[in-house]
Structure 1
Amino acid sequence: MFHAPNAFERAPIPPATRESEPRRQAPVATADSPAQVTDRPAQTTPAKKRDAYFDNAKYLAIVLVAVAHSWVPVMDGSRAARALYMVTYTFHMPAFIIISGYFSRSFDMSPAKVKRLVTGVAVPYIVFETAYALFYRYADNAPDSMISLTEPWYLTWFLAALFIWRLTTPIWRSLRHPLAVSLVIACLASLAPSIGNDLDLPRTLQFLPFFVLGLQLKPEHFQLVRRREVRMLAVPLFAVAVVFAYWAAHRMQLGWFLRDSSAQDMGNPWWTGVVMTLALFGCATLLTAAFLSLVPRRHMWFTVLGAGTICGYLLHGFMVKGAEYAGVFDHNEWLISPTGLVLVTVVASVGVTLMCTPPVRRVLRCVTEPDMNWAFRRDAAKL
């Protein structure tokens, strides 16, 4: 999700030289001695442009995440809001995770990739986990709350999970049937209450198949879901999903969609964990494909915001929880009405959109995209 496309593109293989021609040794630049300057013009590979389609998908997905979080305080008593919440929660994080897996295919534990993992995932997790813990302590008047980097709070679980998933990428790339193995692990996690909440492992393991699915995807798969036939089926599919969710709104537990608990924790027989894990994986995959088919392929006004989704994701929690701690949703029954739900949706959409803008991204770059060359060995590539 937060991976910048083409960040670590391999250079093209140079054309072979004829044996009759003498082979010129290119000057090598080292950390201590720069390469010698020649009078020949430097040949550089032009940077590949960002794909507008994926930036559009990431922006629209983060809007759905923020909107769904804003519905939580006002959906009690509203069957329609609960149904929309269930449909959105079925696919919005799977869509994010699938895209994250797709852009993690090249992760190979090389020094450059490890540095990117630490600076782009681990550092933001540590900073925002601490920030959210302090925010909860003082904004909600909870002086006894502790700062714990092993217990992700609210939405920071995704960064902890992404760190684990990306570290295991070489394993999934080497297995013969990685998706089947990840589904087995997810099913086991759904019926094992003894796993514990360290690094939110239940959710990390139950969402794992979507990351592995993203690792298996190729560009032609995204071309397939963008076909006209798929787009025509997407709207009826979402309509059926909303109708079914409306029927099941008061019959299904929301814990199934959060994937942060086992079946036994929710008071259900152990075997329901396996059934619901497989069923929700199928539903989420279908709805994600429908969502991706409806994403615009051309450059839109919000395309540039796709590069700042990490800012929108990490910041919108302060907006939603801040409003909750301030009592905005207390004793405001009108917010449950259709007008109130629309207002909450619009405010959340505008808020997260502003958080994805380039100025905000530039301000947070020291946290979300820190340089940190001082922390890494200069000869790591040789090692």
Structure 2
Amino acid sequence: MFHAPNVFQRAPLPSATRESEPGRQETKTAAPAPPAPVGNKPPAAAPAKKRDAYFDNVKYLAIVLVAVAHSWEPVMDGSRTVRALYMVAYTFHMPAFIIVSGYFSRSFDMSAAKVKRLVTGVVVPYVVFETAYSLFKRYADDSPDHPITLIDPWYLTWFLAALFIWRLTTPLWQALRHPLPVALVIAMLASFSPTIGNDLDLQRVLQFLPFFVLGLQLKPEHFQLVRRREVRMLALPLFAGALAFAYWAAPRMQLGWFYRNSSAQEMGAPWWSGAVMTLVMFGCAVLLTIGFLSWVPRRHMWFTALGAGTICGYLLHGFLVKGVEYAGVFDTYEWLSSPGGRVVVSLVAAGAVTLLCTPPVRRVLRPVTEPEMNWAFRQGAGKS
């Protein structure tokens, strides 16, 4: 690497007025000025900010897809169906997350308050979890030579590094006349540039960049459009067609195209195929994301509150996935690779990431995912 009225009518969705991380997207409702004090009576407090139930639902469902897809990796060999499902999920689950992150980054302007939030909400979690994951890899996987570095993100932490870079460049994209075509050209150039290297996982940063820029261009009315009944109906044959094509392509297509962490040449493909696949994958991801967003409930659901904790679910579920793998659970219990076992693995992954998004976990992790750090900033830096 994402509060509002509980029920939405057909009125336009409220616009986001401040940027946030995947677990902290918020919207502001217009608040009247507090009344002047009468006598010694203090003025009434301004209304509290409210979260948008729709976007919290989007974030929760997206993080469940991320965790379930990660859990399929050790058990999908030998199953063309699971590999096809994995390919479809990987086509849009991170793009959807990134588009929403871009949407909620529209107000980033390098002001002191926004920079403070960028540091406390992105940089600090990146430093803490990149170090934690490196130590986990070193000792849990018996890999004493695994480096502890902030330059080469390992496993899940690439998203935080990417979000830091994307958000810093937000004023640039907001100033350009045609930002999305420029971002697509950059992504295409990256796809056939094997010399980019692993620093800050720049291949992913650049190849996923168009989704963030697309999110920056979106407005509340665009989300109203995807919620129309005809879009929901079209989403059904869209996903059916995607699954059918993925089933055909499963034994033929490299998964590296979905990870976007390698150039075409590194995958043994001709250089020009990188540019072609960048455009094709972008189009497919946008279509499937629209289909996904069209079916996300707009009203308050039992899982809506969990949308506030998706950053915790994202950063913590990797320890579970890798821990089970390092412990040899899938080698010991071979039945987990059977059809029934894969269902169990999927349900356990969905349940685990759900628990990791709960308020108690968010409170425990707040010192590293949402630290105040007033001591590190000049007075008034946190005021917007």
Q: For residue 301 of structure 2, give the secondary structure of its aligned residue in structure 1.
A: coil
Shift of 1:41: 4.3
CA distance in 2, matches of 1:5, 1:326: 35
Distance change (3 Å), C-alpha of 1:327 and 1:5: closer
Partner of 2:169: 168
State the AA in 1 paired with 2:111: S
| Letter paired with 2:112 | P
Give the Cα separation in 1 of the matches to 2:32 and 2:185: 40
Cα distance, 1:381 vs structure 2: 8.1
Q: How far 1:174 sits from its partner (Å)?
A: 0.6
Q: How does 1:32-71 map to 2 (within 5 A)?
A: 39=40, 41-71=42-72
Tell me the residue number matched to 1:378. 379
Matched letter for residue 78 of structure 2: G
- Summarize deviations over 1:329-378 as a string: whole Å, max 9, x none: 11544323211110110010000000000000000001100010000011
Q: Structure 2 CA distance, aligned partners of 1:138 and 1:102?
A: 38
Q: Where has structure 1 moved over 6 Å in runs of 4 or more?
A: 10-14
1:293 matched to which residue of 2?
294
Task: Identify the residue that residue 29 of structure 1 maps to in structure 2.
Answer: none
User: Which residue of 2 is the match for residue 97 of structure 1?
Assistant: 98
What residue identity is the alignment partner of 2:220? P
Distance 1:231 1:250 in 2: 30
Counterpart in the other structure of 2:321:
320
Deviation digits for residues 210-244 of structure 1, max 9, x if unmatched?
A: 00000000000000001111111112111110010
* Residues 81-90 or 137-146, more deviating: 137-146
* Structure-2 change in CA distance of 1:344 and 1:301 (3 Å): same
Pairwise mapping of residues 1-383 of structure 1 onto structure 2 (< 5 A)?
A: 1=2, 2=21, 4-6=24-26, 39=40, 41-330=42-331, 332-378=333-379, 380=381
CA displacement at 1:49 relative to structure 2: 1.6
> Deviation digits for residues 106-138 of structure 1, max 9, x if unmatched?
000011100000000000000000000000111
Equivalents in 2 of 1:380, 1:60: separation in Å? 34
Deviation string, structure 1 residues 183-215 (Cα, Å, up to 9, x no partner)? 000000000000011000000000000000000
Corresponding residue SS for 1:260: coil
Amino acid corresponding to residue 175 of structure 1 in structure 2? L
What CA distance in whole angstroms lies between the structure 1 residues aligned with 2:376 and 2:55?
31
Which residue is equivalent to 1:20? Answer: none
The 1:304/1:268 distance shift into structure 2, 3 A limit, reads same
Q: Is the 8 A contact 2:32 2:46 kept in 1?
A: no
Aligned residue identity for 2:154 = W
Percent identical across equivalent pairs? 76
**One-letter amino acid matched to 1:55:** D
Kept in 1: contact 2:116–2:382 (CA 8 A): no
2-side partners of 1:74 and 1:360: how far apart?
Answer: 28
Which ranges of structure 1 fall in alignment gaps of 5 or more residues? 15-25, 27-35
Deviation at 1:37, TM superposition (A): 11
User: What amino acid is the match of 1:207?
Assistant: F
- Per-residue CA deviations over 1:150-191 (Å, capped at 9, x if unaligned) read 000000000000000000000000100000000000000000
Kindly state the Cα deviation for residue 39 of structure 1 after the two structures are TM-superposed: 3.6
Amino acid at match of 1:363: V
**Structure 2 length-normalised TM:** 0.90
CA distance in structure 1 between the partners assigned to 2:38 and 2:268 by the alignment:
71
Residue 159 of structure 1 aligns to which amino acid in structure 2?
L
| Number of residue pairs aligned between Structure 1 and Structure 2 | 362
Q: In the aligned structure 2, how far is the partner of 1:183 from the partner of 1:224? A: 24
Q: Return 5+ residue gaps in structure 2 as ranges.
A: 3-20
**What RMSD in Å do the two structures reach over aligned CA positions?**
2.0
Instruction: Look up the match of 1:18.
Output: none
Q: Distance in 2 between matches of 1:346 and 1:212?
A: 33
| 2:330–2:337 Cα contact (<8 Å) kept | no
Question: Secondary structure of the residue that 1:73 maps to in structure 2?
Answer: coil
Change (3 A) 1:232 1:145: same
1:229/1:10 Cα in 2 relative to 1: closer, same or farther (>3 Å)? closer
Supply the AA of the counterpart residue of 1:172: W
Q: Which amino acid aligns with 2:126?
A: Y
2: CA distance, partners of 1:48 / 1:224: 25
Distance 1:87 1:209 in 2: 19
Residue aligned with 2:91, SS:
helix
1:249-307 Cα shifts (integer Å, max 9, x gaps): 01100000000000000011000000000000000000000000010111110001000
